[in-house]
Structure 1
Amino acid sequence: MSRKDNRGRKLKDGEYQRANGQYEFRYTDLFGKAKSKYSWRLTPTDKVPDGRRWSLSLRELETQVEKDMLNGISDTNITLDEMFDKYIRQKMKLKDSTRYGYQVIYNKYVRGGLGKKKIKAIRHTDIKSLYSEMSKKYSIGTIKNLNKILTAVFDLAILDNLISVIPTKRALQDLDCKPSKKVDSLTEREQELFFQYVKNSKYSYWYNFFVVLVGTGMRVSEIVGITWDDIDFANNEISVNHTLSYITDPETKKTGFTISTPKTENSIREIPMFNKVRRALIEIRNLQEVFEIESPQVGSYSNFVFLGENGQLLYRTTVGLKIKQIIRDYNEEEEKAAERENRTPELLPHFASHVFRHTFATRLAENVTDVKVVQSILGHADVQTTLNIYVSNNQERNHKAIKELESKIKIG
């Protein structure tokens, strides 16, 4: 005898109507566990009873279950937050600094918000909505970084048979992002102004640090980790073989310095020294010897080259803050001087520490024709990275090239 609901409609196998009028679909999942889906509506055209919350109809839920089981997807209540934590735990080869960076980005923009949602329930429109809100405050670069992380998390969910589609796909299209004020590299004049000011101001202690930073193209995490054992004065080379980072463990909340291997295998390299770089290092060494400055120790590493005014280790944030202070004070003083002298002020743009690496790459490429040399010194795994990212195609460089070519190219 066939079963019917309270409206006389025939119920299929696995469908039931409870005494309170709610419908139930009973089934067995891929792991042999008995599961149920519930709805106040049997079909999509049914109305939701007064006082009850809307949800997909039972028949729509059944179709969803059948589709998932055909695709080998298991029914689970795992949230995006839980899936991210699982992803981080399984990425054993991630460097501590990279792991920390991923966690900071995810926790800031996703955790506790979209992250509370079940991963199966997250749709493409949810991701688009998140990115759309972010675009009002943040640059496209920030959103791209988050998208890269979320895509990796959803990819793991596919491998675990939790979802069948990655909702971040094409989510970056048509975003109206906050205009980027990013500075790719400093012009020669900006570089000159920066160094003149640092050398002759209260920031003179930092002069040799910036000489080495700009004169080697090292990443900040690389230069702050350099020890005197890495400086080969005999062969005039600096060995880059580790990095130094200051991180906070998101779980224990403990902070501290950590030593890691460089970004890629190609990042392990020997950098030839300019004479100015060599002299700057010798000055730093002499200063440390005269004042008997002792370096802190991190693991088995000690004898660090670059220390703060109080003998403390440096890291990316402290360097970034110092650059910010220098630019702020220089611009304030330059504006006052220009007003007194009735001229237009030459102001420095606001930029991050990584711009010095871009600047070194640009100056190097302007004077070295062999791009492989640039790639080797910068430590890039792919020469295309050197060409696409670090060599800025600025107007100053274009004008300079045209002037040099004018006498060589016969026109008319």
Structure 2
Amino acid sequence: MPRPRLDLGTWGKITRTEIAESKWRARARFRDFTGRTKQREAYGDSGAKAERNLLKTLRSEIESAGDSITGKTTVTALSKVWLADTDLTERCTAQTIERYTDSLEQHVLPALGEYMLMEVTVSRVDRFLRGQAVLTPGLAKTARSVLNGMFKLAVRHDAIRSNPVRDVRLPSRPKKPVEALTVDEVGALREGLQRWQDGVGYRGPRRGSELLDVVDVMLGTGLRISEVLALRWDDVDLGEQPTATVSGTLVYLKKKGLRRQAHTKTSSGFRILTLPPSVVNVLLRRSVEAIQTETNAVFPSGKGTWKWPNNYRRSLRDALKTMEDHGGISPHVFRKSVATLIDAEATLEAAAAVLGHSGTAVTSKHYVKKATAAPDMSAILDQFGGIRNEKDG
């Protein structure tokens, strides 16, 4: 009876033979991606070493075969095919792909890279991701997204029957309450920032008005810090009906540095905002003081380039340290404060639209600070009070 035919990119039983003193040969039948089955062999000073060398050769041949993925493809080889897949490159931004690449190189491949796809089980992935979640929950979430995308590709190529990442759930984290500022708290904050800018009791170069100006724009628009610092004068119309068009954001790429991305974080983020008088006053003053720069940024750096968001955050932290009860505020709190105020004074739908969300779910869950409104059951519950009142009478 003839031996069963090997699948493409797979090999049969490996045999070891000592052909001389301290010289071993490992052999196996291998079916390459042309469909031909040939003997492959490798040598070593022990049987185990010869077999390891043969496995290394066979896996290298699979990896060099391009996007041909089988159950014996390694996770490392799969990652290379996945990163080059057009479904990923066309769907994700450059910074997202960079973040996925970092996750692969720093976390996923050191732990799982040498496993063949057929060896990657649900329990193995679960142990890896849960171990990551204990240390860095955010990085664990990215690693899960990476592995899920890779193994979806492997399933499409019939290399495995099911995606082992699909059934893995990361440990849930307690939901933090939404932090938002009231109108009175914003007023106190602005007074503190103004004092910091005026440099009361401070020795050194004169501080400009930029810190408070950016805060005022964020509070008047709900923009992210990276969107505010990406604003160009071309995006601003200070005419009869003042508006600002949100059309880009600042991103950092290792090979390109800080640059303006000519689209927003999501498609719904591309929006035109009507500016309140407080923001108009800030922009009118800055337009008079503005100097011509290559970026045409409303808030350029001292060199006329794009201003790093992290540099702004650092300046804000330094200012907040001088004020009581404001040490934990970040630029994102201003965005949540905007959503909370609009929800209270108008509608949740309006808050989502101003923030650039595609729906109200994210806005309600992560951006609006409010207690859940219970149904009005006062008439029913008053029966208890009625019983007491009758007895009192």
Q: In 1, distance between residues paired with 2:338 and 2:172? A: 32
Q: 1:286 to 1:257 in 2, by over 3 A?
A: same
Q: Which amino acid aligns with 2:369?
A: S
1:362 equivalent in structure 2: 340
Tell me the residue number matched to 1:123: 121
- Number of residue equivalences: 336
Matches of 1:16 and 1:228 in 2, distance apart? 69
Counterpart for residue 160 of structure 2: 163
Q: Give, as a single letter, the amino acid of the residue that structure 1 aligns with 2:221.
A: T
Deviates more, 1:186-195 or 1:276-285: 186-195
**Residues 1:319 and 1:125: Cα distance change in structure 2 (over 3 Å):** farther
Unpaired runs of 5+ in structure 1? 4-13, 39-48, 56-71, 298-302, 335-346
Q: Which residue does the alignment assign to 1:187?
A: 181
Q: Does the Cα contact within 8 Å between 2:25 and 2:47 map onto a contact in 1?
A: no
* Unmatched segments (≥5 aa) in structure 2: 4-11, 19-23, 53-68, 198-206, 384-393
Residues 1:305 and 2:303 are matched in the alignment: no
Counterpart in the other structure of 2:65: none
User: Which residue number in structure 1 is paired with residue 279 of structure 2?
Assistant: 277
In 2, distance between residues paired with 1:382 and 1:295?
37
Superposed CA deviations along residues 52-81 of structure 1, whole A, max 9, x for unmatched, are: 9999xxxxxxxxxxxxxxxx9464346154
Query: Residue by residue, what CA displacement relative to the aligned partner does 1:357-398 show, whole Å, maximum 9, x if unpaired?
Result: 2221112111113x332222222223333333322335xxx6
CA distance in 1, matches of 2:248, 2:283: 19
Match of 1:316 among 309, 314, 333: 309
Conserved 8 A contact 1:185-1:358: yes
- Residues in 2 aligned to 1:105 and 1:18: alpha-carbon distance in whole angstroms: 38
Contact 1:30 1:74 in 2 (8 A): no
Note the alpha carbon deviations across 1:86-128, whole angstroms, 9 max, x for none.
3489513422333333334444433444345444433323322
1:190 CA displacement: 4.8
SS in 2 for 1:152: helix
Indicate conservation of the 8 Å contact 2:336/2:367, yes or no: yes
How does 1:58-69 map onto structure 2 within 5 Å?
Answer: none
Q: TM-score, normalised by structure 1?
A: 0.67
Which segment is superposed worse, 78-87 or 160-169? 78-87
> Which residue pairs with 2:254 in the alignment?
248
Deviation at 1:16, TM superposition (A): 7.8
Partner secondary structure for residue 206 of structure 1: helix
Closer, same or farther in 2 for the Cα pair 1:132/1:185, shift >3 Å? same
- Given that residues 144 and 172 in structure 1 are in contact (C-alpha distance below 8 angstroms), is that contact kept between their aligned partners in structure 2? no
Opposite residue 134 of structure 1, the aligned amino acid is Q
Deviation of the 1:210 alpha carbon: 0.9
Instruction: Report percent identity of matched pairs.
Output: 21
Query: Which structure would you say has the larger RCO, counting Cα contacts within 8 Å and 6 or more residues apart?
Result: 1
Shift of 1:243: 2.2
Q: Which residue of 1 aligns with 2:169?
A: 172
Instruction: Give the AA of the match of 2:263.
Output: T
Give, as a single letter, the amino acid of the residue that structure 1 aligns with 2:94: D
Question: Do the aligned partners of 2:26 and 2:51 also contact (CA within 8 Å) in 1?
Answer: no
Corresponding residue number in structure 1 for 2:223: 218
Aligned in 2, Cα 1:247/1:120: closer, same or farther, shift over 3 Å? same
Matched residue, 2:204: none
Aligned residue among 191, 209, 218 for 1:196: 191
**Structure 2 CA distance for aligned equivalents of residues 393 and 365 of structure 1:** 9
Q: Choose which of 140, 151, 155 in structure 2 pairs with 1:154.
A: 151
Change (3 A) 1:359 1:54: farther
1:378 aligns with 2:372: no
- CA spacing shift, 1:287–1:119, aligned 2, 3 Å: farther
Range 116-125 or range 17-26, more displaced: 17-26
* Aligned-CA RMSD value: 4.1
Structure 1 residue aligned with 2:136: 138
Counterpart amino acid of residue 153 in structure 2:
L
The 1:54–1:172 alpha-carbon spacing in structure 2 relative to 1, beyond 3 Å, is: farther
Describe the SS at the equivalent of 1:391.
coil
CA distance in 2, matches of 1:146, 1:267: 26
